[in-house]
Structure 1
Amino acid sequence: MASLGYARVSTIEQNADLQTAALEGAGCLRVYTDHGVSGTQARRPQLDKLLENAREGDELVVWKLDRLGRNTRHLLDLVGGLESRGIHFRSLTEGVTTTGPMGKAMLTIMSAFAQLERDQLAERTRAGLAAAAARGRKGGRPGVTPESEKVRQAGQYRAAGLTPPEIGKLLGISRATVYRYLGLLAE
C-alpha cells in the first residue's frame, strides 16, 4: 500500500509548502501538486496523474477536504470512484478516512458542511456588493476624466515638448497610461 499525497493552491502566487510538508510527514511517498487551479475545476492535471498512478490498496491523502473538491457532489463522486477501485482516502486536517463505514459517513457530513460554508461566503459577498451598489458605490478602479490632476499635468508636459516616456517617469505612470491620458485631452 502506497500513500499518495495531493496538494492544490488556487493561484500561482500561493505556496503549497504547508500542505506538502504535512503530506510528507504523514508518510506520503509522492505528493502531486496543482498550482493555480481552482477546486471547482473537474480537470486538474496533477490530480489526474495521481489517479492514473494509484493502484488498488493505495491511499490518496489530502491536507484538507477542500483541496480535493469544492463541491459536495464532486467530492463524494471522486471518493466513490476511488473506493470502487479499492483506493482509500484520508484527509489529515479533518481526520477522515474511508477505511470504515464511520469514516465514510463523516466524509459525507464534513463535505456537506464545507459546501455550506462556501455557499454562505458567496451569499455574504453578493449581499455586500448589493448593499454597496444601493449606497451608490460600484466596484473597480476610479474613472479618470480630463479634469483629473495627472491628466492635466500630462497635457502640460506634452505641450512643453516632453515625450510620453519622459512624462511617465515624471508622473510615475506607464507610457501606455500617458497615451491614454493624452487621448482623453484630445476628445
Structure 2
Amino acid sequence: MKRRAKVLIAIVCTLMLAPAVAFLIYDALVFWPHRDHMRTVLENADPLDRSPPSKVCAYIRAQHDGALPSAVVARQLHSRWLPRRGMLDWHVRSFLWERLVSLHLSQDEVLGLYASLAYNGEGQGLNSLSQRLFTKPLDALSDEEAAMVVAYTWAPDLYAQHPERLRARTDILLSRARRTQLNAL
C-alpha cells in the first residue's frame, strides 16, 4: 500500500512540475534571448512612443477594456522573431509569450512597445500617426484626438475608408476611459 501511495505521489508531482519546468526552459531558451531585441526596439523608438503620455496610456488600456495590452505586444514580438509553423504552434506561443511579457516587462515597457509597434496604416508608431492625422505630436493632442489616434490602430485600413466607424470607436474609448476614471474615484 505504501508503495502505491509513493508512486501515486510521484506521478502527481511529475504532472504538476513538468509544465512549470517546461515553462522555465522555454523562457530561458526562447524568450530570454530576445530581451535585448526588445530593449533595442524601445531605444530606437520615437521618444513619445517609448514613453507615451498618460492620456494615451489610458486610451490604450481602454482599447483593451482596462487590461494591459500585453497579449497584443506578445503577438507582435513573437511574430517578429519566431517563424510561423502552424496554427496550434502560434496559439501556444501567443499564450506563452503573453505570460512572459507580463512577467519580464514593466507596464511602462509594455505600453512603450505597444505605442512603438502599433500598425498605423502606413507604418508603425502612434506618434507618426498623430503627426499624420493632426500634424501634432502625441503629447499635444486633446483627449478626443488622443482617443482617435489609439482607436485608429484597431482597424487602420477600415477606418481610413470609413471615418464614421472611427468616430464610433473613438466614442467607445472615451466612454470606457471616463468609466475607468469614475471607478478609480
TM range (shorter): under 0.3
TM-score by length of 2: 0.26
Larger relative contact order, structure 1 or 2 (CA cutoff 8 Å, min sep 6): 2
TM-score, with structure 1 as normaliser: 0.25
Q: Point out the structure with the larger strand share.
A: 1
When you count helix as a share of all residues, which structure comes out higher?
2
